[in-house]
Structure 1
């Protein structure tokens, strides 16, 4: 029986991945454990999934994390992709597993295409496109880039030979996640980038953008993200799969591309329909607004362009497009406003 440890199942990606895994015909054949901070959510997970054992605790508890990782064949980490300490203790546990079994365990970690960002500040679209089948190109990324310290730690562990590592880098994820984990309040329903632009636009009364909004990001829908994790998980268990790992184990989880201007324009149109704005083109965020809403960081004005060639070679075929993403913004706004109204009643 394959033993699996999941982190981040109460989050957006983690909840979607567990929901997808639960649809597998062989789901009940796995011994699954998950790290959960909340005892209440742990009890709900027990009710939903008979073969999922919640471990109540924190990823910052090094003893707990090391022990949990040392007892499994596969770790799928979907929590904070910048938590170097958490990645380190997971690797310590997996090294112990290797020393006891003689077989390298599997570590599937979640990073993000934020590792590719530049300082365009919305003023231009870069021509640099990163390819996940080109490890030499990826190795030119500076260690100071977001997520990069964790990525390098994990790749280094693979090079030591005691673990096989695979890093999934989702793009701008969109879509409202659905399923029992989300309906019961265990996992988060929404992503980060589009909802924060929506909340900001509602607060300022008009859709906004960084600079001219010319910068480009790739996008991917949450169900397509979960499908990729499932494809990669299958491939890691297949003895016949010639699967890239370590320095060749970066998997860009992306489909089509969009500009920040397009997102701002769609938010503006949706706000007009809902009588929350006057419509028209998105306007440039002022420095004060970037300080207020984004902590002074204009990351939403960066470029992050890449191609998911390694992922598609697995058979992964994302279905949802940029057009679908822009059409989904109405529902995203309704959910944001509903959450705000509910919070005001508390």
Structure 2
């Protein structure tokens, strides 16, 4: 059996990826292990889904080294800025290679946050990164978000003991569905849009950084999960893997369409006003105090992050849902924030 370690299975991306893998005709040929912190969720994974849970922390290097040394494939969907997790993962996969003579596979989750600028919502960016252009990707400075982990992974691939692929999702949207979510194991919601909805609800109006002119890509969560599935399929195929980009040529953007931050702020403002929770159908600029309160002082959401998923689409990835669909989903996000606000005891998974 092919031994696969999935990190982040209780999260939004990881849960979605596992639910997609469950639909594969060869799913029964996988021996799937998952790192979790909760003994309760570990028991559910074992009893309901035949997943071998490993209870521990991704940041524990010896723990990660051991777990990764015992598998053929690691699909990492947890914290993409966790250097310790990356070091432990690579150390374990190196041990695996040394003991088997066969290069293990690492599919790591980064993010298009690695592309951001400092627009603060004041202008649309003009630089568009292409995942099929390794020279352009190599020009990104180490100071960019997620870049330190990405670079460590590229070194592992260059040292020839692992075949590494990096998926970079963007603004992910929609409520995730599937058996893990129904079982209460995985978090069904994204981060960016709910955070904006939560802040806007608290201030009583849709908000944006600056003038909201900055541009980001977007992707629907289940379509993103399909990208992981297609990349895994190609990496496992002797015919396809020989020409499949990995290492410095192994970037795969999880991006479908583009939107301006203003568009999201407008959809949130309209939903709040329609639900009797907003002052206006037009978004207003977050003040410095609000940025400090809601986003830890970061203007990250006002940045530009533009890309083309050329290499992802070459895998056969053909996502259909775009910005119009994303904006249509926002009312439900606002309703969920109102619902959670009425029940302070509600906790995110």
State the secondary structure of the residue aligned to 2:217: strand
Deviations 1:125-171 (A, max 9, x none): 01100000000000100100000000000001100000000000001
Deviation at 1:31, TM superposition (A): 0.6
For 1:208-287, list aligned pairs within 5 A.
Answer: 208-241=207-240, 242-287=243-288
Write the distance in 1 (CA, Å) between the matches of 2:141 and 2:171: 21
Q: Is residue 2:126 matched to residue 1:127?
A: yes
Measure, in 2, the Cα distance between the counterparts of 1:343 and 1:20: 32
Partners of 2:168 and 2:337 in 1: CA distance? 26
User: What does residue 11 of structure 1 align with?
Assistant: 11
Report the counterpart of residue 81 of structure 2 in structure 1.
82
Deviations 1:203-242 (A, max 9, x none): 0000010111000000000001100000000000011111
SS in structure 2 opposite 1:3? strand
- Segments of structure 1 that go 5 or more residues without pairing to the other structure are none
Alpha-carbon offset, residue 106 of structure 1: 0.3
- Structure 1 segment 1-346 matched on structure 2, within 5 A: 1-50=1-50, 52-241=51-240, 242-344=243-345
Q: How many residues align?
A: 345
Following TM superposition, the consecutive aligned residue runs of length 4 or more in structure 1 with deviations greater than 6 angstroms are none
Matches of 1:272 and 1:14, distance apart in 2: 34
2:238 is paired with a residue of what secondary structure? Answer: coil
Alpha-carbon spacing, 1:280–1:338, altered in 2? closer, same or farther (3 Å): closer
Query: Once the 2 structures are TM-superposed, how far is the Cα of residue 344 of structure 1 from its aligned partner?
Result: 4.2
Q: Relative to 1, partners in 2 of residues 1:340 and 1:186: Cα closer, same or farther, differing over 3 Å?
A: farther
- Tell me how far apart the structure 2 counterparts of residues 38 and 324 of structure 1 sit (CA, whole Å): 34
**Alpha-carbon separation, structure 2, partners of 1:37 and 1:137:** 38
DSSP 3-state at the match of 2:344: helix
The SS at the match of 1:151 is helix
Per-residue displacement from partner, 1:83-131 (whole Å, max 9, x unpaired)? 0110001000000000011111000000000000000000000110000
CA contact (8 A) 2:94 2:161 kept: yes
Whole-angstrom CA distance in 1 between matches of 2:235 and 2:42: 28
Bigger mean CA deviation after superposition, 174-183 or 246-255: 174-183
Report the aligned-residue RMSD: 1.1
CA distance in 2, matches of 1:145, 1:248: 19
Deviations 1:287-328 (A, max 9, x none): 111111111110110000000000000000112110000000
For the Cα contact (< 8 Å) 2:201–2:337, is it kept in 1?
no
Contact kept, 8 Å, 2:266 with 2:281, in 1: the verdict is: yes
Whole-angstrom CA distance in 2 between matches of 1:292 and 1:60: 28
Task: State how far apart, in whole Å, the 1-side matches of 2:31 and 2:149 are.
Answer: 27
TM-score (norm 1): 0.98
